[in-house]
Homo-oligomer: A and B are copies of this chain.
Amino acid sequence: MTNRRLGDATLAFGTPPVLIGHAAVAGKREGEGPLGSSFDHISADSYWGEATWEKAESTMQRTAFALAADKAGIAPRTIDFLFAGDLLNQCIGSTFGSRDSDIPFFGLFGACSTMGEALCLAAMSIAGGFAQHAAAVTSSHFCSAERQFRFPLEYGGQRTPTSQWTVSGAGASILAATGDGPAITHVTPGKIVDAGITDANNMGAAMAPAAYDTIRQHFADTGRTPDDYDLIVTGDLGSLGHAVVVDFFKKDGVTMRTYQDCGLMIFDRQKQQVDAGGSGCGCAATVLNGYLLNAMRAGKWNRILFCPTGALMSVTSSQQGESIPGICHAVAISTIG
């Protein structure tokens, strides 16, 4: 079967690339949350044994990648392409995480949508016949993100109720042309959508229009409905963004019966005091490569639509009065085709 383009923006793979291995590593707070048992490794040390939080983030990526390759049962060196990205300036979490990998490397920036972007490109590289194995890796770290995007941690700044808590964690997926595991049947790469939101403490509202746009596009292109999926899950919209997406679809007469958000799943918002929920590249990445893929392998769900969302802003763009454009990539994962 050959690859097909469906509608405006969806790719249907003739031979769906298989997620033969996946791993998620996370920090203490994430380990104490509802999905704690799904992580392959939890470090109580926010530095992961390194001198800085930025280096810790690289170490998380390296650890997740090594564990995923090990679980896939392949030598890392046999991986043809590595797709990786993160939130840090110039994506140093990924660069230094992959520095010694000796694998052709594609650096990505999709903010918190990066796991989706990496899966799209890794799946395309395999389904296009360019690779036997490809890896998708991404991470975020509360401490490195907080001091880069907001305030020094020592400042002890107040948090707004709409703010989200950046997940400390990394996720890695190993894709293969053939093998055992859930497979990526379709991808719908997203467009940049800017609804004019300017509050950098309300990322959920900034990203929700992009999630709506891409998921709606996916349904239009494939002819599928929410009921075709056992689970539709956005990346890190949090409570506010999740409600916005539900509302947008409701206005179209569409009920998102099985719709959840990784940012709402990874923490117990009340007990863990994370305001609107989790966020960061590591949020969708750890939830997918831990809880979601484990559950698919265990037979809990047959078909999920994984839709990580990103806010494409920087400190500079916000200081210059720019709004916050969002993006969302949808990845259909199935155990049954």
Q: A residues bordering B, Cβ < 8 Å?
A: 2-3, 5, 9, 11, 51-52, 54-55, 80-81, 85, 87-92, 95-96, 98-111, 117, 120-121, 124-125, 127-131, 148, 188-192, 194, 312-317, 320, 322, 325, 327
Contact = CB atoms under 8 A, between A and B. Distances in A.
Contact of A104 (B101, B106, B190): B190
B108 A107 contact: yes
Given A54-B317, A90-B314, 5 more contacts: A5-B130, A92-B312, A95-B317, A106-B117, A109-B109
A206 to B, nearest CB: 12
B109 A90 contact: yes
A327 B105 contact: yes
B189 A106 contact: yes
B314 A192 contact: no
A117 B85 CA distance: 14
B103 A191 contact: yes
A167 to B, nearest CB: 18
Contacts of A315: 89
A246 to B, nearest CB: 24
A320 B101 contact: no
Residue in A5, A90, A320, A327 with the greatest tally of chain B CB atoms within 10 Å: A90
22 contacts: A2-B129, A9-B80, A51-B320, A87-B90, A88-B314, A89-B89, A89-B90, A89-B314, A89-B315, A90-B314, A95-B312, A98-B192, A100-B194, A105-B191, A105-B327, A106-B108, A107-B110, A107-B327, A124-B128, A127-B128, A128-B129, A148-B316
A89 B317 CA distance: 9
A108 B129 CA distance: 22
B109 A191 contact: no
Given A54-B317, A128-B127, A107 B117 contact: yes
A4 to B, nearest CB: 8
A111 B90 CA distance: 7
Contacts of A80: 5, 9
Given A104-B189, A314-B89, A96 B128 contact: no
Nearest to A55: B320
Contacts of A111: 90, 107
Given A11-B130, A90-B109, A127-B128, A101 B316 contact: no
A101 B3 contact: no
Contact of A108 (B87, B109, B120): B109
A44 to B, nearest CB: 23
Contacts of A102: 191
A192 B88 contact: no
A314 B130 CA distance: 31
Given A2-B129, A95-B312, A317-B54, A85 B104 contact: no
A70 to B, nearest CB: 21
A108 B191 CA distance: 14
A91 B105 contact: no
A64 B188 CA distance: 26
A121 B9 CA distance: 17
